[in-house]
Amino acid sequence: MVFEDRAYIQSRTDSAGGRGINASRVLHSFGAETLAIVTSGGANGERLQKLAAKSGFPVKVVSIKNEIRVNLTITDRQGLGVKLNERGPAITKEELARVEKAVESRLDSASWLMLCGSIPPGVSPNFYTKLIRMARERKVKTLLDTDGEALLHGVEAGPTVVTPNQAEAERLLNRGLITRAQFMDAVSRIKAMGPESVLLFLGTRGVIAVNENQLLEVIPPRIDVVSPLCSSDALAAAFVWAANKKKDFVDCVRWGVAAGTASASMPGTDFATLEQTKEVYKVVEVRKTQQAATHA
């Protein structure tokens, strides 16, 4: 990619996107039952629904008046990439209530609720907090994958696991994170804010993870990165897939890192299959460093 010069597009694809849709794509490809709940409005919404109908898993559409956004994912031959996301439409209180009802009505048949992506403009940053508490009342585990104020309020609601990347963790803690020691300290600080466990996603460097009694460094093998921008979605989905199979925390994180790494070697917004993930899983390294520390 170059700036202030001409660049040519070699290929392009359209897909139903968003972190939640991406997570469902991975879960479905791994053989798990999944339901994606999305908002849809305008001509872009019609495109989304047509693309989602080909996904192979059920999608619950909550209709809204305004046009939904289009996000662009651009990658070059060296594996460098950028995501350009529109801000997204405003959602009315009535529309938001329908989203909440769509989630609530399906919790009794769910084992996990994944809350993925940013919240629309004008929506209270406590929206995910409300859904996390609603899920806990029904003994449904929760994964929170968001940013900004929604992440700050969400972690305080005590989700089962939260999965920030480095930039999201830096914004949450209001400090830069550069060294390994700082990453280790960061996950413990985030855990002290409320979640049961934390997975700090560091891209090709892997994950620093913490739960009630373990602090882990999970390191992927070196790969030729093709398109890394959706690898965190694969990580989150694979963690939930493994947890739903009653695997222990260490193994869940290992599966997550394997899926994220394998998907980073795929073009565009494609995700690795379970078989491709298994091959990477075999060579993911887990280092148990110490018991988790609690910060005041």
Q: Which residue has the higher pLDDT, 114 or 18?
A: 114
- Helix H or strand E segment including 259: helix 249-264
Say if CB 232 and CB 145 are below 8 A apart. yes
Give the Cβ contact number of residue 223 at 10 Å.
14
- In the predicted structure, residue 85 carries a pLDDT above the cut 90: no
Q: Which residue has the higher pLDDT, 296 or 124?
A: 124
Say if CB 290 and CB 184 are below 8 A apart. no
pLDDT of 290 reads 65
CB within 8 Å of 168: residues ≥ 6 apart:
146, 147, 151
- In the predicted structure, residue 37 carries a pLDDT above the cut 90: yes
DSSP character for 165?
Answer: B
CB within 8 Å of 185: residues ≥ 6 apart:
295
pLDDT in tens, 178-198: 999 999 999 999 999 999 999
Q: Where are the alpha helices (DSSP H) in 30-157?
A: 42-52, 93-104, 127-137, 148-156
- In the predicted structure, residue 154 carries a pLDDT above the cut 60: yes
The strand pair at 207-210 and 215-219 is best described as antiparallel
When the pLDDT of each residue in the chain is averaged and rounded to a whole number, the result is 92
CB within 8 Å of 44: residues ≥ 6 apart:
67, 68, 69, 70
The residue type found at 168 is E
Tokens representing residue 259 in the block: 């899926």
Q: Residue 121 burial by CB count (10 A; 0-12/13-18/19+): exposed, middle or buried? A: exposed
Give the residue among 84, 89, 12 at the shortest CA–CA distance from 44. 89
Give the residue among 189, 186, 183, 185 at the shortest CA–CA distance from 205. 183
Query: For a pLDDT cut of 90, what percent of the chain falls above it?
Result: 76
pLDDT of 291 reads 56
Say if CB 27 and CB 240 are below 8 A apart. yes
Give the Cβ contact number of residue 225 at 10 Å.
17
DSSP character for 81?
Answer: E
pLDDT in tens, 226-273: 877 788 999 999 999 999 999 999 999 999 999 999 999 888 778 999
Residues counted in the chain = 296
**DSSP three-state, residue 57:** coil
Going 215 to 147 to 237 to 37, the CA torsion angle's sign is positive
Average pLDDT over residues 204-229: 92
**Alpha-carbon distance 255 to 187, whole Å?**
19
pLDDT of 267 reads 80
